[in-house]
Copies of this chain bind each other. A is one copy, B any other.
């Protein structure tokens, strides 16, 4: 009885979602159902037990990934990416039922408590993901270990070159002058700080991170750079950073701040910036109404994180005393980045299994796949927000961005930096 009801609910939901392309579903007893219009892409999934079907229906955002990790939902044809694409590509056209919407409202109300990112918790959240084995990241990231969205100047650009273009684009918007002191909040393995010092002429770069693995890597790489004395990397929470800086940059860190700490973050940045300082904030943003994080991502990948909408982070900026001088919305660049990361990861999947295990490798494939579909089909994008204390600290037109990029390209050539980013 329950089984029959569950099958009918599954069939109705998949019929609504899969409008283009083809999805074949095999039930635990071997019976098969077909969805879609028979065209490509095509994928086939199989449930190993009836409780897996029920679990998926109860909480699809969390359970789809878990069932895939546990091999209770097996992909027999195509990939888990194809399955996600089939489910999400036209999902915007499907209106959620009243029960789903009520549950969403309740979850929105409590998310400030879920994102209680006081310093100790923030540290634990970061360690959860970024302190994974360095060899794992080496499997799919570029040679500068840039674990953030690349900037594709033209379709088909290779990852190393697009990551170099990202550094160049950010450096141009930072309006760096020789000798400037720069702070990088969430510096990762230090790739951007090295570019700002070696290519763009910054006098000193302070990089802070909460990941011990990244700190170690950043220090090692800076020791081999042209100006090793120009770097200071520290295991430090942004709230504890002293001093003032001519320029502040933060790439892929603001997503971990949490809604309840937006005010603290921007006020602290305001205080860290010199009077004529400029700041560039690069993070994953939501172009739709505010939403809570995907529960699977929250549980397995980024605990405590939040992808903010424009309406969520702009009030805190206005209250901070900083002024927004520009907002670029980089759409689809992260989808392209994730596609390359996933291809590289799957090509070296056996090494990931050797480092961890099969279940971890499936988790990682699911993470890269679902993130790509979010950027492609769910109005998730990169926001590059430029900020200043004084509106006159930034030129009156945006022409300087292209002009400075041309200058930086020349500097890269003089230093013998290849577009491959070595």
Contacts and interface: CB of A to CB of B under 8 A. Distances in A.
Interface of A: 151-153, 287-290, 309-311, 314-315, 317-319, 323-333, 379, 381, 391-392, 394, 396-399, 401-402
B325 A314 contact: no
Contact of A402 (B325, B327, B402): B402
Given A289-B319, A381-B391, A396 B330 contact: yes
A331 B392 CA distance: 8
Contacts of A398: 328, 398, 401
A290 B319 CA distance: 10
B323 A287 contact: yes
Given A309-B318, A399-B402, A331 B327 contact: no
B325 A391 contact: no
Contacts of A397: 151-153
23 contacts: A151-B397, A152-B396, A152-B397, A153-B399, A287-B391, A288-B318, A289-B315, A289-B319, A309-B314, A309-B318, A310-B317, A310-B324, A311-B311, A324-B329, A325-B331, A326-B329, A329-B391, A330-B396, A331-B394, A331-B396, A332-B391, A379-B391, A399-B402
Given A287-B391, A330-B396, A332-B396, 14 more contacts: A152-B397, A153-B399, A288-B318, A289-B315, A309-B314, A309-B318, A325-B331, A327-B329, A328-B398, A329-B391, A331-B392, A331-B394, A398-B398, A402-B402
Nearest to A330: B396
7 smallest A-B Cβ distances: which pairs?
A327-B327, A310-B314, A311-B315, A331-B391, A287-B323, A311-B314, A289-B318
B396 A318 contact: no
Which of A287, A289, A331, A399: most chain B Cβ within 10 A? A331
Contacts of A290: 318
Contacts of A315: 289, 311
A273 to B, nearest CB: 16
Which of A326, A327, A379: most chain B Cβ within 10 A? A327
Contacts of A402: 399, 402
A309 B311 CA distance: 10
Nearest to A290: B318
A41 to B, nearest CB: 18
A329 B318 contact: no
A396 B335 CA distance: 12
A318 B311 contact: yes
